Amino acid sequence: MLARVANNLYWMGRYIERSEHVARYLNVNYFSSLDAPNELSQSRQFVLRSMLFMVDKPEKDEKKILNEEEVLYQIGLDPSSPFSILNNVKIARENANSARDLISQELYEAINKFYHYTINYDADEFKKNGLDDFTSNVTEMTGVIRGKMRGTLLHDSVYAIIMMGINIERATQIIRIINSKCQDALSAQGSYQHKFSKSFEWTTLLKCLESYDMMRRIYKKTPTSISTLEFLILNPNCPRSIMNCLNQICNNVKVIDDQKEKKPDSTAFLVGKIRSEFRFKRIEEIDENIYVFIKKILEDLSSISIKMEEEFFNY
């Protein structure tokens, strides 16, 4: 596989995954805030700030009153904002274009439909009452795309590169979403009923990652900070956990680099090292200082990406 094309496939995976997480975050936060148990979590300003924080565009001016339509448009369909879902989809499709000879027609068609759906979505409709419609469709279409990847591509290095992109992005987004929700839980805490560890935000967090039902199956209790974080970070069976992503990254890098002895400066070596550290972590350790942990894992993920760039995408 060409190094340039591998790079494009990697980013195609990342941008498709990213658009899904952003869409879901918008949807869940907006709609769960409508009947949230406390006033702050219900406040529109609080939710809009959380959304901007999640796409890495936090509003610094605490007194500024945000305009709902503007914020939603900015994150959803604004062609001039680099983090908008629209731009994620555009870049994903452009990357798919340059690898058209390697991917199946079925996969291309799914991405192409996704693209046309997004760029043709009426912006006014979206701002007024299309939020649920648009974001649920985005989530669904990315699901179809992932199905086409799995079901129509050869499971070789092309697939492995795409899956590396998807899983690195997924881990990154999970952490970003955890970060946003920790932030929200922190600002929402107050009296006894609104303690950090028992915040309503943990339920929202799990829903943002489509993991609420499965979490309940395991813990059988209202989510707390510890149980939620344990599930989303360390549970290898939860498909939206950091551990699960790292396991998949590890399996996929082995497809690309099939040498038995991994060289110390290789991506496979680095991935193995990060994953090993993780496998023997306990949630209490993480919970001691969640922000240090978040910073560390984001750095680790970005170091994998940089290593891949050096090793595979050198053109």
Binding site for other proteins (CB under 8 A): 1-6, 94, 97-98, 100-102, 105, 108-109, 112-113, 116, 157, 161, 256, 312-315
Alpha-carbon Rg for the chain in angstroms: 20
DSSP 130: I
DSSP 65: P
CB of 29 to other proteins, least distance (A): 31
CB of 17 to other proteins, least distance (A): 21
State which residue, 108 or 269, has the beta carbon closest to other proteins: 108
State which residue, 5 or 232, has the beta carbon closest to other proteins: 5
CB of 140 to other proteins, least distance (A): 17
Token look-up 């919970």 returns 287
Of the candidates 135, 111, 164, 162, the residue with the CA atom closest to the CA atom of residue 21: 135
In our burial notation (b when 16+ CB lie closer than 10 A, e otherwise), range 211-232 reads bbebbeeeeeeebbbebbbbbb
State which residue, 4 or 295, has the beta carbon closest to other proteins: 4
What SS3 state is found at 119?
helix
State which residue, 7 or 74, has the beta carbon closest to other proteins: 7
CB of 113 to other proteins, least distance (A): 6
State which residue, 136 or 314, has the beta carbon closest to other proteins: 314
How far is 169 from 303, CA to CA, in rounded Å?
A: 13
CB of 4 to other proteins, least distance (A): 6
Of the candidates 298, 208, 312, 231, the residue with the CA atom closest to the CA atom of residue 268: 312
CB of 245 within 8 A of CB of 168?
A: yes
Query: 33 exposed, middle or buried (CB, 10 Å; 0-12, 13-18, 19+)?
Result: buried
State which residue, 109 or 265, has the beta carbon closest to other proteins: 109
CB of 3 to other proteins, least distance (A): 5
